Structure 1
């Protein structure tokens, strides 16, 4: 009679099995991200690994991203968001603040109403639809949603689907006004020279911000703590942070894996069943924001493309690239409105989600 393997042998076999799982996920992530990059789709470095992890998770993968690594990735994203806010947007916002505020409030109200309807009709559970419908700040909303009891997987599904729809729509509309065929996209420098002071500032902001977030017991403490502290030192003290592309790619990959590996077949089936309603809500939000852009264009006398890009609901990085490619677009106006909405969504998102949750339960 054969003897059973001892405990050390079983543990060693389990470790080997996990190594093969990670290797398979890594290879598929590279293939997916490369295909998305080739198709010029937004957020490829995040969506590709997330799709690979969903495939692995729904096929029984047992590996998970360690919490310290996931926390580190959240801190890097917090630094990225904090560093993306420019002090130059404030004069532009101050000049037309009533219109900006009205457009931001209208967009947030429309997205919240759509989220409330999806929740009310029991298409998605709890406040998931509210977080998933929030315009802009896709990665931030996904990271914060889990801290408020929403299903992070379905929020990610909604947010990144909207990012793709919005970015592709904005690119198509921009092409109607601007010929971008001759514009070369600058090559990505994966390993730029490290700037000691700026890179050290990034690490310091990530570490101190994470600790502050935990001490203050903020929801999603690592992300929010880093974002708040990073924005304060960036805008208040003029501290510059360096985020090399390799570090961003690694962080996006870890976030994508963390979300995707938690998908199961029942969750994926549920998301697929809700797909028509989710796409419908995205189309309605895009149309609503397009209407706001038309009104702003008429009121201020600015060109329609500038107004549309400024009100486009999400995909800030993609919108910035499109705006920069169009020479007659007022990029400062576009980024001022996009950044204002981003900040409002970050500040009021949790309160709106709680309010909607209460109304759905009644």
Structure 2
């Protein structure tokens, strides 16, 4: 995800408090929300709880934001976590069914583009903002292109991250009440140690790959490059990826804060005219993705929750957390999610420009 949204400074509510006090409030509120969710068996409670707390703090005037370096580290940790789930059986399954998976990816992109075109033609949003804001993934790329194209970057960011909140929340509810709740993590406890040498090797590979992906300006490179390299090395037996649950819990929490703190009163006031159309387009896209999940279940015989998460329209990192916290085939989920991100990154800007020129 990109750096914090551009906006004016808050001067009321929590914004009057010193930054350390705001962080304490955020931590306390996160704990108060997360613990009941965890005890109730919600998957990804360590993501959803902090995310909801971050939204509450942001809407209450909070001015604190995570430094971009923390999000870089979050992506690396999540990439290694998912890389540990990739198996040889999965690679064969993906290779045998890539035409169907490509069809699913293109269908999601097509419907999201149609939603953006419809909103743009209605005149609800200025210029081509709706086209970029409705893109199904690659948020940072779409925001950069939107700015170059003269669109309202704040509205684009609002639409992108509102979809992340909706998709993450709905997927968590589906996993909880669909009987797929589970840790999806190693059997050791939260504070139990893991072998130091494998941990050091995995972190060294992840940090180096993440830095390369970031420096080369590859979209979501801090996630995709460590994920690809970690998967190959883990499959070959060159390294054994084992991450402490304490590290994963910290990454989940920081990711939730990074999403939630972006929602401020200034942004909501700026985007109030686009709120209902954006929500309607998100609901339509999530519903269409669920139909695609049914298609995967019927044709590939995979379980419904795996199919649902695999077709959910972003974001990649939050879906990774939910997949790892549920009883699903996380590697299958991430393969389809990664394929969508790659296609959106390559074709999305040109497609958005093409539609924008005709709207």
What are the equivalent positions in structure 2 for 1:331-350 lying under 5 Å apart? Answer: 338-350=333-345
**How far apart, in 2, do the equivalents of 1:72 and 1:202 lie?**
13
Does the residue aligned with 2:217 lie in a helix, a strand or coil?
coil
Structure 2, unaligned runs of 5 or more: 1-14, 147-152, 313-318
TM-score, scaled to structure 2? 0.71
> In structure 1, what is the Cα distance between the partners aligned to 2:297 and 2:69?
47
For the residues of structure 2 that align with 1:61 and 1:307, how far apart are their CA atoms?
39
Larger deviation, residues 244-253 vs 228-237: 228-237
Inter-partner Cα distance in structure 1 for 2:194 and 2:125: 48
Quickly say closer, same or farther: Cα 1:237–1:269, change in 2 above 3 A: farther
Alignment of 1:1-362 (within 5 A): 17-118=18-119, 121=122, 122=124, 125=129, 129-131=133-135, 133-134=136-137, 151-152=156-157, 154-169=159-174, 174=178, 189-235=189-235, 238-269=238-269, 274-295=274-295, 302=301, 306=303, 309-311=306-308, 313-314=311-312, 315=319, 324=327, 338-362=333-357
CA contact (8 A) 1:167 1:319 kept: no
Instruction: Call closer, same or farther: CA 1:123–1:191 in 2, change over 3 Å.
Output: farther
**TM-score by structure 1 length?**
0.71
Give the 3 Å change call, closer, same or farther, for CA 242–335 of structure 1 in structure 2. closer
- Larger-Rg structure: 1
Q: Is the 1:127–1:356 Cα contact (8 Å) retained in structure 2?
A: no
2:18 partner SS: helix
Which segment drifts farther, 46-55 or 106-115?
A: 106-115
- The CA deviation at 1:118 is 4.3
Query: What runs of 5+ residues in structure 1 fail to find an aligned partner?
Result: 1-13, 135-140, 325-330
Instruction: Check the 8 A contact 2:37/2:49 in 1, yes or no.
Output: yes
Equivalent pairs counted in the alignment come to 323
Q: Shift of residue 81 of structure 1?
A: 3.5
1:103/1:67 Cα in 2 relative to 1: closer, same or farther (>3 Å)? closer
In 2: Cα distance, 1:355 partner to 1:119 partner: 17
Tell me how far apart the structure 2 counterparts of residues 311 and 290 of structure 1 sit (CA, whole Å).
6
Report the aligned-residue RMSD.
Answer: 3.9
* Cα distance in 2 between the residues matched to 1:255 and 1:164: 14
Cα distance change of structure 1 residues 24 and 286 upon mapping to structure 2, 3 Å threshold: closer
Cα distance change on mapping 1:235 and 1:120 into 2, 3 Å: farther
Deviation at 1:199, TM superposition (A): 1.0
Contact 1:114/1:281 (8 A) holds in 2? yes
2:58–2:264 Cα contact (<8 Å) kept:
yes
